[in-house]
Amino acid sequence: MNSSLSDPHVVVFAMFPGIDALDVTGPAEVFAMTNHVLGGRRAVYEVHLAGERRGPVVTSAGVRLHVEELFSEQGAIDTLVVPGRIRIGADGPEPHVDPAVVSWLREAGPAAGRVASVCVGAHMAAAAGLLDGHRATTHWATAERFATDHPAVEVDPDPIFVRSGRMWTSAGITASMDLALALVAEDHGDEIALEVARVMVMYLQRPGGQSQFSVPLAHPAGSREDLRELRRWIGEHLDADLSVPALAARMSMSERNFARVFRAETGSTPGAYVESTRLEAARRLLERTSRLAPEIARACGFGSVESLHRVFRDRLSTSPGEYRSRFRTTA
């Protein structure tokens, strides 16, 4: 993928009539906001809408999106996004499979840096053979059909998004923005993705088990800069002593006053905030790395594997191992 400031990261959306508007506009807004957040410091995203024909494409919402480029005109693609269209038929939700899109995906998909399907766009990516041998997700209502139609794909209907090598798939329509943020995190790191999420007021406490960047966003920013700085410090020093006495001493406050002020500013006790932050870090390591449980427990400040297991059991009703097997996003 392109990485220099002079080479933008090319994102191409595969367009077709009746497309679900948010499948396109949601991720596009995330990429655009990332460009603003980066402020020219790194390569920006360059979004293209490509289709079989030029001209307006009427979305399922009736909104018109203008296609200015043809499939045949596309050069090197860093990220190829396959939006979807879900229709409500007599037997329930049905995925639309556009023949022109599938034909182009067979040609362009293998050469793209990565392919990301949104919602039922996974059905088209699978029809093009791009998901064979990969784990993938789609809209929960079409997952059974997806598995039946494409037995070479390992279908998991629960996650918000799944990464399998260079193939990414996401769940229902609004999950497109979670997927786009995950792509931004891969390209530019968690801090940039977190800043984009903050600006867009995306709390991302999503059902299905995965909650990207949820701890910092789930608590008010507060009015005190010293406590905002403390929270940043906590996130960077999870293996330190983060007990109330230690944190109060760091703030040069009494324990009672510190606990009162922290709760007033964040809506959480210091202990609960620290545990949530450590849990979120452990989840990211389980999802994105091969590090073993003892190493993760130490790095995140749990002290022991037993404590790590207890928190996962109490807060997520699962074990670290089960969580990794279900939500790991690395190849």
Residues 171-221 pLDDT 10s:
877 788 989 988 998 898 877 887 888 888 774 434 334 443 444 444 555
pLDDT in tens, 262-317: 999 888 899 999 999 999 899 889 888 889 999 999 999 999 999 999 999 888 77
**What are φ and ψ of residue 29, in 5° steps?**
-65, -40
What domains can be seen in the chain, in order of their start residue? 9-205 (3.40.50.880), 219-331 (1.10.10.60)
Is residue 23 within 8 Å of 173, Cβ to Cβ?
A: yes
Length of the chain: 331
User: For residue 51, which phi and psi values (nearest 5 degrees)?
Assistant: -150, 180
Q: What is the pTM of this model?
A: 0.66
Question: pLDDT tens digits, residue range 94-148?
Answer: 899 999 999 999 999 999 999 999 999 999 999 999 999 999 999 988 999 999 9
Q: What's the angle, vertex CA 174, arms to CA 78 and CA 84, rounded to 5?
A: 60
Residue 197 vs residues 107, 168, 330: alpha-carbon distances, Å:
34, 19, 22
Token code pair at residue 15? 């367009």
